[in-house]
Amino acid sequence: MRLTFLGASMMVTGSSYLLEVGQRKILVDCGMFQGSKATEALNRRPFLFDPTTIDAVLLTHAHIDHSGLLPRLCKSGYKGKIYTSKATTDLCRIMLADSAHIQEFEAEIANRKGRRAGKTPVEPLYTVADAEVCLKQFHPVPYNVLFDIFPEIRVKLDDAGHILGSSIIEIWLIENDKTAKLVFSGDLGRPDQPIIKDPTYIDEADYIIMETTYGNRIHEHYDQLDALAGIIRDTVKRGGNIVIPAFAVGRTQIIIYFLHQLLKAGKIPDIPVFIDSPLAISATDIFMHNPQEFDVEAYDMLYKQQDNPLKLPHLNFTRTSDESKAINLLDEPVIIISASSMADAGRILHHLKHNLWRTEASILFVGYQAQGSLGRRLLEGAKRVKIMGEEISVKAQIHNMEGFSAHADQMQLLDWLEHLKTPPANIFLIHGEQEAAEAFAKVVDERLHIPTYIPHYGDSAVLDGRQFSIEGSAITLVDPKFQQLHEYLEQLDSDYMELRKRIEHITTEGDSKLPEIIEGVEKAGKFIRNTAEIIGNSK
Ligand SMILES: [Zn+2]
């Protein structure tokens, strides 16, 4: 049998693995690559297998970096079933449709520009219609029940405690009278997350394919409820709004849950809360239709105390963009939860435009802010930002609350492995940047003495019982020139922020270096405008 790594190799995006057993081909996850332009270009690359030859697909969870290329797979000829949990099926219904909308929208924008430049039109990666066809192939299965997808392939899903419906996938395989058990961890949740259950411990496996997003990090522990209450109370006292950029699925519902608890405890004033993201509204609905996935606390609250943990007395859902714009006409302080989580697209831009310049307002980040995103620039202390073509001065208080991650940290990943009753023959470390995967490999070796392997994109592991060998691939994932450019740009970003901070500290008038500094900055500006001209209008 053979296991090929088709994504999430030394990166946290594009999860996909091909498992070949005899004549059967099984695909585990079919994720979209998200991130830089060079990484996203991989989404258009032909699949490294013939989609018509795949016999079954197993899906760990609904996040787009695990599910996002399924519509393309089906469009390219895959006609079989997509096995996953019920809640994942429900979430994919909205998330794949949303992703298809984005694909169609981006293609339309590119074509509008392209037509003027006489370019051949680009096709969207897939359309809403493609996503709908693909959703018909979803086949929900319950957790913790063994089922045979083929006589030689038995599967079980267990709750991974990462997001609603997320699964660890256990697979038992038979080939030439030899058996092997593989466990795909999927994205493993952080224990004690609100609403959803803790990750399931696994007893045994011959091979584990394990995520390492935070393989080199340990989450900070502090009282999140207290911190959130403090920010809300202070902002309301100043008469400002609290704007929270958040992922529509998972993060938004956790914040509603926290607000519910704080209100019940009388720790925050009862002010209006707006969920301003159509996707977040649908996702909250799906949470309410899947209470069987809730942890004991949330379940008891809902059924024993008849107290819906995802409801608030003044919770408002805004679906249309007019309703969204009307929020900023209100005089009283409100809480606005909107997407995107990194504040670089979507309705949140509108709310930032109306609140960033107000000293009384607060912007609260609750998730990772990637290098170069507007969120990151605000956290790094930018004094002015450009939003929808308009210069906005930053006067609001900018807060960052860590610890909302839906991923287990290094200690929690280790703890999950420590619950195995017999050690596996090998652990393949995936879904982590190189540093994270390498750091985790080191602690697994030191603490558990289990061998690990960090695969490259396209590598295959040939498994023979508990013996295996690696067939390395010669595929270059990203053109090294693109990679180099990407690294330069990241460096440029941080150099710029550093320089800006230092220049802004020159406060004394008549500083002798000032004319020279102005000249230098002018030169840099000219250089950037020249580069822009070289690029022209090409996208
Ligand atoms: Zn995930």
Question: Which of 119, 109, 125, 134 shows the shortest CA–CA distance to 41?
Answer: 125
Residue reference for tokens 């809480």: 335
CATH code assigned at 289:
3.40.50.10890
Tell me the CA–centroid distance for residue 61 and ligand 1, in Å: 7
Does pLDDT of 505 surpass 80? no
Above 90 in pLDDT, residue 441?
yes
The residue segments making up the domain with residue 272 are 224-400
| Alpha carbons within 13 A on the beta-carbon side of 232 | 24
Tally the C-alpha atoms within 13 A of residue 305's C-alpha that lie toward its C-beta.
Answer: 11
Torsion of CA 159, 164, 165, 169, to 10 degrees: -40
Res. 37: pLDDT tops 80: no
Other Cβ atoms closer than 10 A to 118: 6
d(CA 445, ligand 1 centre) in Å = 26
Strand order in the sheet with 362-365: 315-317, 273-276, 335-338, 242-245, 362-365, 397-400
Neighbours of 480 (CB within 10 A): 10
| Reported confidence tier of residue 335, pLDDT bands at 50, 70, 90 | very high
Strands (E), 73-227: 82-84, 138-140, 147-150, 153-159, 167-175, 178-184, 207-211
- Ligand 1 center to 210 CA (angstroms): 13
Distance from Cα 29 to the centre of ligand 1, integer Å? 11
Least confident piece of the model among 96-105, 262-271, 479-488: 479-488
528: tokens are 């950037």
Nearest to 73 by CA among 36, 37, 27: 27
Model confidence at 152, pLDDT cuts 50, 70, 90, reads: very high
pLDDT > 50? residue 444: yes
Whether the per-residue pLDDT at 490 is higher than 80: the answer is no
How much distance in Å is there from the Cα of 66 to the middle of ligand 1?
A: 7
pLDDT bin (cut points 50, 70, 90) of residue 537 is low
Lowest mean pLDDT among 187-201, 264-278, 368-382, 503-517: 503-517
Instruction: Determine the distance separating the centroid of ligand 1 and the alpha carbon of 288, expressed in angstroms.
Output: 20
DSSP 3-state of 155:
strand
User: 413 and 288 in one domain?
Assistant: no
Cα(235) to centroid of ligand 1, in Å? 32
Cis peptide before 340 (omega within 30 of 0): yes
Separation of alpha carbons 376 and 52, rounded Å: 42
Taking only Cα atoms into account, the Rg of the chain, rounded to an integer number of angstroms, comes to 25
Residue 159 Ramachandran class (φ > 0 left, ψ -120 to 50 alpha, else beta) = beta
* Residue where one domain finishes, among candidates 363, 382, 400: 400
Strand, helix or coil at 493? Answer: helix
Looking at the predicted structure, is the pLDDT value of residue 61 above 70? yes
Location of structure tokens 């297998």? 49
Closest CA to 73 of 150, 165, 137, 140: 137
CA 13–ligand 1 middle distance (angstroms): 9
**What string of DSSP letters covers 382-442?**
-SEEEETTEEEE--SEEEE-----SS-BHHHHHHHHHT-SS--SEEEEESS-HHHHHHHHH
Q: Within this chain, do residues 409 and 522 fall inside the same structural domain, yes or no? A: no
351-360, 366-375, 380-389, 433-442: segment of lowest average pLDDT: 366-375
> What is the 270 CA–ligand 1 centroid distance (Å)?
33
Are 356 and 343 in the same domain? yes
Dihedral sign, CA of 275, 278, 279, 283?
positive
State the CB neighbour count (10 A cutoff) for residue 512. Answer: 7
Least confident segment among 10-14, 259-263, 295-299: 10-14
Lowest mean pLDDT among 33-42, 214-223, 452-461: 33-42
For residue 218, the CA-to-ligand 1 centroid distance in Å is 18
Of the pLDDT bands very low, low, confident and very high (cuts 50, 70, 90), residue 370 is confident
The string of pLDDT tens digits covering residues 157-209 is 999 999 999 999 999 999 988 899 999 999 999 999 999 999 999 999 999 99
Local confidence band at 389 (pLDDT 50, 70, 90 cut-offs): confident
Residues 492 and 433 in one domain: no
Same domain, yes or no: 362 and 288: yes
The whole-angstrom separation of Cα 130 and Cα 324 is 29
Q: Which of 332, 251, 261 is nearest to 284 (CA)?
A: 251
- Average pLDDT in the 20-35 region? 94
How much distance in Å is there from the Cα of 167 to the middle of ligand 1? 10
Residues 19 and 126 in one domain: yes
Collect residues with CB below 5 Å from ion ligand 1.
63, 187
Among 7-16, 389-398, 477-486, 525-534, the range with the most confident prediction by mean pLDDT is: 389-398
Backbone angles phi, psi at 311, to 5 degrees: -120, 150
Say how many Å lie between the CA of residue 431 and the centre of ligand 1. Answer: 10
**Contact status, residue 482 vs residue 197, Cβ threshold 8 Å:** no
Q: Which pLDDT belongs to residue 356?
A: 96
**Which among 418, 444, 471 is the end of a domain?**
471
| Whether residues 307 and 424 fall in one domain | no
* Residue after which a domain boundary falls, among 471, 492, 523: 471
444 CA distance to ligand 1 middle (Å): 22
Q: Stretch 280-290: mean pLDDT, rounded?
A: 94
Calculate what percentage of the chain has a pLDDT beyond 90: 68
Pick from 73-87, 118-132, 243-257, 452-466 the range whose average pLDDT is largest.
73-87
Strands 315-317 and 273-276 come out as: parallel
Provide the CATH number for the domain around residue 453: 3.60.15.10
Residues 137 and 263 placed together within one structural domain of the fold: no
* Ligand 1: centre distance to CA 113 (Å): 34
Same domain assignment for residues 200 and 70: yes
What's the pLDDT band for 491 if we cut at 50, 70, 90? confident
Ligand 1 centroid to Cα of residue 248, in Å, is 13
Q: What is the mean pLDDT of residues 364-384?
A: 87
Q: What is the model's pLDDT at position 442?
A: 98
d(CA 58, CA 137): 11
Tell me the C-alpha distance between 174 and 180, whole Å. Answer: 7
Query: Distance, CA 182 to ligand 1 centroid (Å)?
Result: 20
Half-sphere CA count of 197, side-chain side, radius 13 A: 19
- Express as a percent the part of the chain with pLDDT over 70: 97
| Shared domain check, 331 and 438 | no
Same domain, 345 and 381: yes
Cα 476 → chain centroid: 24
Length of the chain: 539
Mean pLDDT within 321-339: 91
492 with 457, same domain? no
Domain count within the chain: 3
Cα of first residue to Cα of last residue in the chain, in angstroms, is: 43
Give the chain's mean pLDDT.
Answer: 91
pLDDT number for residue 539: 45
Q: Among positive and negative, which fits the CA dihedral 199, 200, 204, 206?
A: negative
- Per-residue pLDDT, 482: 67
